[in-house]
Amino acid sequence: MSWKKDEDSDDLGALMNLDHSVVLQEARVFNETPIRPRQSRLLLAKIVFLLYRGDSMSTTEATNLFFSITKLFQCKDMSLRQMVYLTIKELSTISEDVIMVTSSLMKDMQPTSEITYRANAIRALCKIVDPSMLPGIERFLKAAIVEKSATIASSSLVSSLHLFNEAKDVVRRWGNEVSEALNGKSLSQGSSFFGSSSSQGQVVSTSNIVQYHAIGLLYAIRQHDRMAVLKLVQSFSGQKSGGWMGGGSSSALRSNAAHVMLIRYAVRVMESDSSLAPQLHGLLEEWIRHRSDMVSLEAARAVCQLKDVSDKQLTAAVNALQLFLSSPKAVVRFAAIRTLNVLARTHPEAVQPCNVDMEGLITDSNRSVATFAITTLLKTGNEASVERLMKQMQGFMAEISDEFKIIVAEAVRSLCGKFPSKHGLFLGFLSGVLRDEGGYEFKRAAIEAIVDLAKHVGECREVALGHLCEFIEDCEFTKLSVRVLHFLGEEGPATARPTVYIRHIYNRVVLENAVVRAAAVSALAKFGAAPRADAALQRSVRVLLARCLDDRDDEVRDRAAWGLRMTAADQTRARYVRDDSTFSLAVLERRLVAYCADPHAKSARFDFAAVPRISRAQEEETRHRVRLDAMDQVLTGSTLPATQAAGAKEDAPKSAGAGAEEADRAAQYARQLAAIPELAAFGERPLVSSQRAAELTEAETEYVVRCVKHVYERHIVFQFDVTNTIAEQVLEQVEVAMESDDIDGLLQPVVAMAIPVLRYDAPAAAYVAFERLTEDAVAASFACTLKFIVKECDPATGEPEEGDDGFDDDYSLEAVDLGPGDFMLATYIPDSDTLWESLAESESVETFALSSFSSIEECVAKVCDLLNMCPLDNALAPRSKAAHKAAFTGKWLGHAKTVARTRMAYQKGAGVTMELAVRSEDPAVSELVVSAIA
């Protein structure tokens, strides 16, 4: 029988048109005798394709199909057997009684079987085995890990890594075998469980993939033991005995991929323990000089992404990346220029020595490399080179994908703030790309760049608005039309000729869909409600809004009616249009979801007063931060690790954009406290909760303790979050003893709640509550001691040893201070200027000489932290090093509105001189807030 390929056939199309029921009918061929290997193999490929395509299969169908496939084990055809293994693995998650095939798989794992059989049988067996049955095959897997065949060893290591999530305790016992595979001993000498070293004439693989898989599994086993991970990094770092870890001989890693993983583990150790950063940074510099491009690039990238890295520490990494820019391999050039592109955002001066090399890449045949080169040059270049680079960039915009067009648009957007005098050049480029073909994300990035220019460069506002008006005349994306119309409504009324933009906006009401028409109506209403709108303009806008009352869409008619009513009353305009505050949308969404999910809450109206309000500047800063995070994904291909991202947020100074995050954190604390009956009696929720936990221990100590303070109407609750970092110990009856220096006895202890059991790496909270015997704020300092019972335990199970009664122990903590700032709720107050004028009689003013501060920026950050108030505008970003003014708002105990204003002057050698003025609805509060500095 001959077979000839039909050149007109479309194999992919045939696969895409596979019918689920037809394939199941064809599966009857598995029951035929004799077995037809080729037909069975093609049918198995169809079944796997259906599963990968997402077709659903009932449990009965999958089970019947599974047991039909098991009959194919009678055939010795190697290609068919490989497809059988693959199909069994895919069906194992939806079939029943899959464990019945274990005996067949175990037979294929015997030394008399082919290597290909044995490796694939291990993968399939580990996929279908139940964790409770794992001890029964443990000896097989441990022996396979140290097998001389790289195929078998690698399959065992990868399968063990998959099993680790389900059976951690069992896999942890294989650490010695994994270490042996990592050291490469099993590949050169000795016999294996499956047979002698000379059996079957096995060919020892020269591949080093076993080390890559072994180091991944070994890290998974040791990842919660920082010292064990540190020892792993040191043992394969190439250092000899007597190094900074002391003792031990170094081992060699032959796998470049394993070296890359080792570098990543070293970085994680540096992030978790900053005291080891200097020594490990030396290792990274050694790896930068590695002979493999892959390892050297990874080490350089790791150094560039370290937090708080200095320009001096970056020198070696930048020099290596500069050499890679001239590599003949396009992938190496791409990796190097992308790393430099990300580094240029935070350390442009460190990247400047590479400018000459990057200019040579502008004409690179790989357009991706050229895009990164020119965008990096835009970040590191000077004003004189911008125009030349922009002209070069226009030449290849049509040749690159939308993903890289977005990067270009974002680079131009960053330049808008750096070189505002070049606004004409930037606007010309951005308006040109808007007329070209492109997807939504690319057009959105260009629009946002134009919006930024219009906001921050007043000279080009009207020109930028004109380009936006031109864009919406032929815009295919509804979301972008809505965005532009909203911006026109915000900025258009403040221009010299607002009627120009009204014409473009009203055209959208006539020509567009309902969503765009509704946005256009809202924009028209803003023109009529603007403070600069004269009677003629208001009259014209009202005529246009009246025409919209006949629109066929309900939303458009409702907005038109609202606009007519709003433009007719000054009080309504001030409330809805001129208000510079808005709700924190993230918090509002979560509160609404909780409200709709609670059947008992629906009987009452939703409490909008409980949703924090933020300024427009805060909202814009939050969006800016989200945009930067999105750009990190585009530029680096990944996000920060969760721990690093959380650490960055925790260590960052309080900013105007942190209001939503603080509100979310306060809501989470309120839910935790309400679930404890003893604390729920103090009130429905705390009036004030700490915005940042106070660290009472070092991060590297045996026990890590953080304190959060919660202030109620008459009570103060101290929440101590405790983490046990010793795997061999379990703590019981963990409590914090607090001794106050309050000599007046204004604080009375009422509740002390201990942690019953504290296991390794499982944080828990202990609570201590005091009653305030006065309505005034209380300032006190508390000496704290952690007390507990220590019991030895098995690190694998976390259970204490039998018969171990343990022993009492204690651990000294840092003191906890209670001050006026702990009674202040940092919140944004709209129209704070008007409030300030109305509270003139309650003002308290004090001047301070703060000689310990070396800059105004340092001083204002500390003042904000002590007052615990919300900074307004650019309070935390002084524009001058000599003088600065800052304003803060908050609510005392969540009720009394308070405004603080500071004037600072810095003189070298004398420090900062600051005048602090505070006004509050409660006159006594003004003096208390001033005392927070004193």
The Cα 126–Cα 839 span in angstroms is 72
A 10 A CB-CB count for 162 gives 13
The Cα 526–Cα 491 span in angstroms is 10
Closest of 186, 185, 251, 179 to residue 219, by C-alpha: 179
Closest of 504, 481, 508 to residue 492, by C-alpha: 504
What is the chain's Cα-based Rg?
A: 34
Q: Which two tokens stand for residue 687?
A: 């009036």
**Residue 709 half-sphere exposure toward CB, CA atoms < 13 A:** 24
> What is the predicted pLDDT for the residue at 621?
65
User: Is the CB of residue 751 less than 8 Å from the CB of residue 738?
Assistant: no
Positive/negative CA dihedral, 504, 510, 512, 517? positive
The Cα 902–Cα 76 span in angstroms is 85
* Terminal CA-CA length for the chain: 99
What are the φ and ψ backbone dihedral angles of 532, each rounded to 5 degrees? Answer: -85, 0
Q: Which two tokens stand for residue 732?
A: 């019981």
Closest of 594, 578, 593, 589 to residue 612, by C-alpha: 589
Q: What is the DSSP string of 808-849?
A: EEEEE---EEE-GGGGEEE---SSHHHHHHHTGGG-EEEEEE
A 10 A CB-CB count for 776 gives 12
> What is the predicted pLDDT for the residue at 4?
45
Q: Which two tokens stand for residue 267?
A: 């970085």
Helical (H) or strand (E) element with 738: strand 729-740
Range list of β-strands (E), 624-713: 688-689, 694-695, 703-711
Tokens 């003096």 correspond to 927
Tokens 């093609």 correspond to 42
> What is the predicted pLDDT for the residue at 335?
93
The Cα 303–Cα 549 span in angstroms is 62
Distances (CA, A) of 515 to 484, 551, 922: 13, 12, 47
User: Is the CB of residue 79 less than 8 Å from the CB of residue 118?
Assistant: no
The Cα 526–Cα 579 span in angstroms is 12
Cis peptide before 677 (omega within 30 of 0): no
Run means of pLDDT, 10 residues per run, the chain, 934 residues: 44 64 83 85 87 83 84 84 85 80 78 74 83 81 86 88 84 87 58 40 58 89 82 73 37 82 89 80 88 92 87 89 92 92 86 87 85 83 75 73 77 75 82 83 87 82 89 89 90 86 89 90 87 80 90 91 81 64 76 81 76 70 63 48 38 45 71 86 82 83 90 90 88 92 81 91 91 83 92 79 83 90 84 85 89 87 87 81 89 87 89 91 87 78
Q: Which two tokens stand for residue 32?
A: 């035929």
The Cα 779–Cα 932 span in angstroms is 9
Positive/negative CA dihedral, 721, 722, 727, 728? negative
For 474, which DSSP code? T
- 790 dihedral zone (left: phi>0; alpha: psi -120 to 50; beta): beta
Q: How many helices (H) and strands (E) does the chain have?
A: 40, 19
Q: Note the maximum CA span of the chain.
A: 105
Q: Which two tokens stand for residue 492?
A: 């258009």
Q: Which residues have C-beta within 8 Å of that of residue 268, sequence separation ≥ 6?
A: 229, 641
Question: Mapped to the 3 state alphabet, what secondary structure does 89-156 carry?
Answer: HHHCCCCCCHHHHHHHHHHHCCCCCCHHHHHHHHHHHHHHCCHHHHHHHHHHHHHHHCCCCHHHHHHH
Query: Looking at the DSSP assignment, which residues form a beta bridge with residue 898?
Result: 890, 920
User: Is the CB of residue 870 less than 8 Å from the CB of residue 828?
Assistant: yes
- 676 dihedral zone (left: phi>0; alpha: psi -120 to 50; beta): beta
Assign 3-state DSSP to the chain and report helix, strand, coil percentages, each to 5.
60, 15, 30
Q: Which residues have C-beta within 8 Å of that of residue 854, sequence separation ≥ 6?
A: 911
Cα 326 to its chain centre, rounded Å, is 33
The Cα 875–Cα 899 span in angstroms is 13
The Cα 402–Cα 399 span in angstroms is 10
For 790, which DSSP code? E
pTM attached to this predicted model: 0.63
| C-beta pairs of 391-394 under 8 Å, 24+ apart in sequence | 392/362, 393/429, 394/429, 394/432
Q: Which two tokens stand for residue 201?
A: 């004439």
The Cα 755–Cα 178 span in angstroms is 37
For 556, which DSSP code? H
Q: Which two tokens stand for residue 273?
A: 């323990």
- 247 dihedral zone (left: phi>0; alpha: psi -120 to 50; beta): left
**Residue 669 half-sphere exposure toward CB, CA atoms < 13 A:** 27
For 607, which DSSP code? -
Closest of 824, 825, 811, 813 to residue 781, by C-alpha: 813
- Length of the chain in residues, anyone? 934
- 839 dihedral zone (left: phi>0; alpha: psi -120 to 50; beta): alpha
Helical (H) or strand (E) element with 591: helix 585-597
Looking at this protein, which amino acid is placed at residue 252?
A
Query: Looking at the DSSP assignment, which residues form a beta bridge with residue 734?
Result: 755
